[in-house]
Structure 1
Amino acid sequence: MNGASILRKKQTILTELSNGDFDAFLYDCDGTLADNMEGHKASYRAAALMYGFELDDTIIDELAGWPIIQVAEEIRKKYGASFKPEVFAQLKNMLYEDTFIQDTKPIDFVVAHLKAHVGKVHIGVVSGGGRVSVSRTLQQLGITKHVEVLVCAGDTSRGKPYPDPFLYAAESLGIAPSRCLVFEDGNPGVQAAIAAGMHWIRIDQV
């Protein structure tokens, strides 16, 4: 099966899985709409090297969807490093935006799914990333104009795996959580969707 056939098959599966009486689709960004996790991992590794240690980036997969400051705090605790999480997060974001963001590619079948449902349901993006980084990523994917609400790190007091970001998105759209379908690639995001009382799909299992 060639690449085009695989893409069509995944698009078909995702469309079938998302059939239902929903009022809003809420997409994670990094790793769900955007094929950019290697860039994020590289920026975390580069930031760690600047603090004098080599980072095992599997922790980034484990905490996918967490706000960057909280990921930085987990890294600090794991490695016994002496940095302030907010400073590490700022450094990581700067490295990503200056060096790696231009390598962002779409996860084609998810982006196609979003575009196919514009005007049929409300569209939101709920991310643990910073607003500048996520906004630039959506611009690169060419979907900024389709996103009605964007929730990023810092918009709620608690991030994923807590339900707060998804509940905030639903409230902003004026839609009941039970009428929302979440698209996620990480366990923390799925846990947040469940806690919010929303339906969900793991796109990395499609």
Structure 2
Amino acid sequence: MNDESLQKLAILEEKSANYGTLLFDVDGTLADNMPAHKAAYVAVAAEYDIELDDNIVEELAGWPTVDVAQEIARRHQKTFDIEVFSKRKSAIFIERFIRATQPVEFVTQHLLNNIGKKRIGIVSGGSRSTVSITLEVIGLIGKFETLVCAGDTPEGKPSPQPFLLAAEHLNVDPADCFVFEDGDPGVQAAIAAGMGWIRVDQL
């Protein structure tokens, strides 16, 4: 790691030192893949004759894919099957982009440094199939105790439900959990869950 990444790693260590459980978002947090997700959304939107401003992907970072699809339909006044849209988006992402995904090194290293020292969970708004492949590509399969993905709770981020479910799976107090995120919806979810948090993209 370069000096900048080492400095960021030190910040993560300091901020989360007093917490016994670490909960990590995936896209944009552990995996440096937000440009790829944007490209996949733009590509599938084009199939529906929608010229998509990819800033919406950052704005809604952490939302389940079906909810993003619903919001795209609403803003562009289109009617389409959001499940079909979502599955197509995931297929494009996997086919074209996922194998080139790189880890966010200082965040993944923080996770690895805490294996056996703290409880570790993954909480993502992505589909389980896509998230699992992403975690495989960046070398984190088997490095965590629980995985919460889109559809595992009635509501996704910014609702606290996904983070609270991860705490329940680990049998830990939400107040002892520290969340690593890269988007406002995830931060809102962590705050609502009563957990500590940090935005890794703003370091």
Report the TM-score range of the alignment, normalised by the length of the smaller protein: over 0.9
Query: What is the DSSP-based 3-state SS (H/G/I as helix, E as strand, rest coil) of the residue aligned with 2:122?
Result: strand
Structure 1 counterpart of 2:43:
46
150, 153, 157: which one aligns with 1:156: 153
100, 103, 107: which one aligns with 1:103: 100
For 1:172 and 1:9, the matched residues in 2 are separated by 32
Structure 2 counterpart of 1:5:
3
For 2:7 and 2:168, the matched residues in 1 are separated by 34
Q: CA RMSD in A?
A: 0.9
Partner amino acid, structure 2, of 1:202? R
Query: What is the DSSP-based 3-state SS (H/G/I as helix, E as strand, rest coil) of the residue aligned with 2:142?
Result: helix
2:76 equivalent to 1:79: yes
Task: Output aligned runs, 1:2-81, within 5 Å.
Answer: 4-20=2-18, 22-81=19-78
2:201 equivalent to 1:204: yes
Instruction: Give the Å deviation of 1:85.
Output: 1.1
For 2:184 and 2:50, the matched residues in 1 are separated by 27
Of all paired residues, the percent bearing the same amino acid is 52
111, 123, 126: which one aligns with 1:126: 123
Task: Output aligned runs, 1:182-197, within 5 Å.
Answer: 182-197=179-194
Instruction: Give the Å deviation of 1:124.
Output: 0.4
What per-residue deviation string (whole Å, max 9, x for no partner) do you get for residues 130-156 of structure 1? 000000011111111111100000000
Instruction: Give the Å deviation of 1:126.
Output: 0.2
Query: What is the DSSP-based 3-state SS (H/G/I as helix, E as strand, rest coil) of the residue aligned with 1:125?
Result: strand
Instruction: Give the Å deviation of 1:81.
Output: 1.7
Structure 1 counterpart of 2:163:
166
For 2:178 and 2:197, the matched residues in 1 are separated by 5
Instruction: Give the Å deviation of 1:82.
Output: 2.2
Query: What is the DSSP-based 3-state SS (H/G/I as helix, E as strand, rest coil) of the residue aligned with 1:171?
Result: helix
For 2:26 and 2:98, the matched residues in 1 are separated by 13
Query: What is the DSSP-based 3-state SS (H/G/I as helix, E as strand, rest coil) of the residue aligned with 2:97?
Result: helix
Runs of 4+ deviating beyond 2 Å: none
Q: Which moved more, 1:102-111 or 1:78-87?
A: 78-87
Instruction: Give the Å deviation of 1:23.
Output: 2.0
TM-score (norm 2): 0.98
For 1:14 and 1:152, the matched residues in 2 are separated by 23
Query: What is the DSSP-based 3-state SS (H/G/I as helix, E as strand, rest coil) of the residue aligned with 1:183?
Result: strand
Extract unaligned runs of 5+ from structure 1.
none
Is the contact between residue 39 and residue 103 of structure 1 (CA under 8 Å) also seen in structure 2? no
